[in-house]
């Protein structure tokens, strides 16, 4: 493998900076906190770090509403802090990917208040009756169109009203975004995670989305409680012209050796979107879908998501993830009995690291953290509040990282943190697991080391094994020099792997036990 293709088979570690480590005791994590914990991240054996947004922002959507793409929000530190973090990571052999939010800006971005840049955003006239231009919906509820009295028009937003959508059809907008990319690439970042890449472009005729038919598959990027699921989102996002845009972006980024683009691919058919966004070698390097992070992680759901990707991936490369900052933590989605928590956490990590592709490990996943159960008055996320109590997701997976069990707030901060540290997280703190060689943390290091030294697991072919017992998935990973047969029991009961499954590979159990 070429050094420039380090991303093929890599393991990334996602850091949500608000919740990783606080060093100035304001209850919010910061860039110096990530720097402080670089040795820990390196000890996991990962290849790089994806850092969620730390740019200047009014924090209506906790950093995903950017008001200045080329500066650090004082909450997280300074640009010099980031440069020190970047240098510290590189000295340890760790790559750094930063989270670029190019679908929209904050309504406090200077572009949005510059009349000469009005066309850098998506505007449309009202219908004759004064209603929005079409039926497009926001992920965060209600119409995707917001009335603005400055221009007596509506502007488009896919999320909060404070997040106006950029018009990337406009060459000037696109050039400004490419200038942002150049700023960070010249600084030395190793690539970008692209937020909501499937919503970069829209149907210029602003046609209504059709309704989802009764038998249409349910989208995996939103919970059933979200009204957006009633529509087929084929005009407000995931339009065919996106492929040309991604190819242009890839060509631009290729000017810097060894840099990588990791796209978030959602929409009506997340697996199709992710798989096609990485094909031909001229689009994104990697993408991830919502087939795992949006599922219950039981065998049928896993097999469905992986099969869909494998069936259409072709020459592309996927990045798998069991968890991230937007979804209920994976252990709580599988929801094993408490006695099986440690075993289930290990199984889920091993499964993700055994699939064909790269893998992104979300902070705390290596500790087997369950979802934090928060009351309504503890919630801060507008999305969680909107869908409460039917949707339990973002705040409960964003609670602070537990470092030291005996310290207040598990060593995250000396001040009251922005979200509470649950008691069942404190007991799973890093310092506790470091002393327990049977812990999820030690297992994570072991399985990552196994993967990195296994050509079959990092780059080998993938083939399903058939006739598995109910609740078990099995597959083969094979390279020219090595073969692994992988079996994962995603139930809380003992399962048998029978000889008729194993004998074709030269294995036989005398008592037919597995």
Dihedral in degrees, nearest 10, Cα atoms 423, 400, 441, 363: 140
What secondary structure does DSSP assign to 306-360, as a single string? Answer: HHHHHHH-TT--BEEES--TTS--HHHHH---GGGHHHHHHHHHHHHHHSSSEEE
Q: Distance (Å, rounded) from C-alpha 135 to C-alpha 385?
A: 23
Work out how many domains the chain is built from and give that number.
3
**In DSSP terms, which residues pair with 153 in a beta bridge?**
148
Is residue 161 a part of any domain in this protein? no
- Contact of 71 with 33, CB cutoff 8 Å: no
Asked if residue 49 and residue 128 are part of one domain, the reply reads: no
**In DSSP terms, which residues pair with 287 in a beta bridge?**
263, 318
The β-bridge relationship of strands 260-264 and 286-288 is parallel
CA dihedral sign, ordered 87, 285, 325, 368: negative
Paired tokens of 401: 């990282």
Q: Distance (Å, rounded) from C-alpha 160 to C-alpha 283?
A: 29
Is residue 355 a part of any domain in this protein? yes
Is residue 28 a part of any domain in this protein? yes
Asked if residue 75 and residue 140 are part of one domain, the reply reads: no
CATH code where residue 293 lies: 3.20.20.80
pLDDT of res. 503 = 74
Asked if residue 445 and residue 468 are part of one domain, the reply reads: no
Asked if residue 100 and residue 114 are part of one domain, the reply reads: no
pLDDT of res. 514 = 41
Is residue 75 a part of any domain in this protein? yes
Task: Tell me whether the omega of the peptide bond preceding residue 293 falls within 30 degrees of 0, making it cis.
Answer: no
Examine the fold and report which residue of 121, 156, 191 is the final residue of a domain before the chain moves on: 156
Is residue 192 a part of any domain in this protein? yes
Asked if residue 241 and residue 180 are part of one domain, the reply reads: yes
CATH code where residue 126 lies: 3.90.400.10
Q: By C-alpha distance, which of 80, 64, 60, 84 is closest to 72?
A: 80
pTM: 0.96
Asked if residue 180 and residue 243 are part of one domain, the reply reads: yes
Instruction: Provide the greatest CA pair distance for the chain.
Output: 79
Asked if residue 347 and residue 481 are part of one domain, the reply reads: no
Phi, psi of 143 (to 5 degrees): -65, 150
| Residues identified as active-site | 195, 264
Q: Distance (Å, rounded) from C-alpha 355 to C-alpha 183?
A: 34
Asked if residue 337 and residue 400 are part of one domain, the reply reads: yes
Asked if residue 252 and residue 392 are part of one domain, the reply reads: yes
Is residue 166 a part of any domain in this protein? no
pLDDT of res. 73 = 98
Give residue 491's domain range.
460-505
CA dihedral sign, ordered 27, 72, 170, 237: negative
> What is the number of other CB atoms lying within 10 angstroms of the CB of residue 252?
16
Asked if residue 190 and residue 78 are part of one domain, the reply reads: yes
Q: Distance (Å, rounded) from C-alpha 245 to C-alpha 241?
A: 7
Q: Which three-class secondary structure state does DSSP give residue 83?
A: helix
Asked if residue 115 and residue 28 are part of one domain, the reply reads: no
Is residue 26 a part of any domain in this protein? yes
Asked if residue 343 and residue 476 are part of one domain, the reply reads: no
Is residue 362 a part of any domain in this protein? yes
Q: By C-alpha distance, which of 128, 122, 139 is closest to 204?
A: 122
Dihedral in degrees, nearest 10, Cα atoms 464, 468, 471, 477: -30
Low-confidence ranges of the chain (pLDDT < 70): 1-2, 391-392, 499, 507-514
- Contact of 246 with 284, CB cutoff 8 Å: yes
- Contact of 11 with 97, CB cutoff 8 Å: no
Q: Distance (Å, rounded) from C-alpha 401 to C-alpha 10?
A: 23
Q: Which residues of 83-113 are buried (b: 16+ CB within 10 A; e: fewer)?
A: eebbebbeeeebbbbbbbbbbbbbbbbebbe
Q: Which residues of 21-45 are buried (b: 16+ CB within 10 A; e: fewer)?
A: bbbeeebbbbbbbbbbbbebbbeeb
């Amino acid at each position: 493998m070429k050094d420039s293709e380090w991303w093929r088979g890599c393991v990334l570690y996602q850091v949500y900076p608000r919740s990783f480590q606080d060093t100035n005791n304001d209850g919010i994590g910061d860039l110096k906190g990530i720097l402080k914990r670089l040795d820990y991240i390196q000890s996991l054996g990962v290849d790089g770090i994806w850092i969620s947004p730390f740019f200047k922002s009014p924090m209506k959507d906790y950093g995903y509403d950017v008001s200045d793409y080329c500066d650090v929000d004082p909450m997280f530190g300074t640009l010099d802090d980031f440069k020190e973090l970047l240098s510290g990571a590189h000295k340890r052999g760790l790559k750094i990917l930063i989270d670029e939010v190019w679908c929209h800006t904050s309504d406090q971005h200077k572009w949005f208040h510059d009349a000469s840049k009005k066309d850098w955003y998506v505007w449309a006239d009202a219908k004759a009756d004064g209603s929005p231009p079409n039926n497009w919906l926001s992920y965060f509820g209600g119409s995707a169109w917001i009335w603005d009295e400055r221009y007596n028009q509506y502007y488009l937003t896919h999320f909060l009203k404070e997040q106006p959508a950029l018009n990337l059809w406009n060459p000037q907008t696109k050039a400004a975004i490419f200038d942002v990319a150049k700023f960070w690439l010249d600084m030395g970042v190793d690539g970008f995670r692209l937020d909501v890449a499937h919503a970069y472009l829209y149907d210029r005729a602003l046609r209504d989305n059709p309704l989802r038919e009764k038998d249409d598959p349910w989208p995996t990027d939103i919970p059933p409680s979200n009204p957006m699921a009633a529509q087929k989102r084929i005009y407000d996002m995931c339009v065919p012209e996106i492929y040309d845009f991604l190819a242009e972006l890839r060509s631009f980024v290729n000017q810097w050796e060894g840099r990588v683009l990791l796209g978030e691919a959602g929409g009506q058919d997340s697996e199709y979107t992710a798989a096609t966004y990485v094909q031909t070698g001229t689009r994104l390097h990697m993408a991830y879908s919502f087939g795992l992070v949006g599922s219950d992680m039981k065998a049928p759901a896993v097999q469905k998501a992986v099969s869909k990707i494998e069936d259409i991936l072709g020459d592309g490369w996927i990045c798998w993830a069991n968890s991230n900052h937007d979804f209920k933590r994976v252990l709580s989605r599988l929801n094993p009995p408490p006695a099986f928590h440690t075993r289930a956490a290990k199984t889920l990590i091993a499964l993700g690291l055994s699939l064909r592709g790269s893998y992104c490990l979300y902070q705390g996943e290596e500790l087997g953290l369950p979802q934090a159960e928060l009351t309504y008055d503890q919630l801060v996320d507008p999305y969680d509040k909107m869908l409460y109590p039917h949707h339990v997701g973002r705040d409960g997976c964003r609670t602070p990282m537990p470092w030291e069990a005996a310290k207040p707030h598990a060593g995250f901060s000396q001040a009251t943190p922005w979200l509470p540290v649950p008691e069942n997280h404190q007991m799973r703190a890093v310092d506790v697991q470091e002393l327990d060689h049977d812990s999820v943390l030690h297992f994570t290091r072991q399985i990552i080391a196994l993967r990195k030294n296994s050509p079959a697991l990092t780059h080998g072919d993938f083939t399903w094994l058939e006739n598995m017992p109910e609740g078990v998935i099995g597959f083969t990973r094979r390279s020219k020099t090595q073969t692994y047969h992988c079996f994962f029991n995603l139930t809380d009961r003992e399962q048998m792997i029978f000889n008729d499954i194993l004998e074709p590979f030269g294995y036989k159990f005398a008592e037919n036990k597995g």
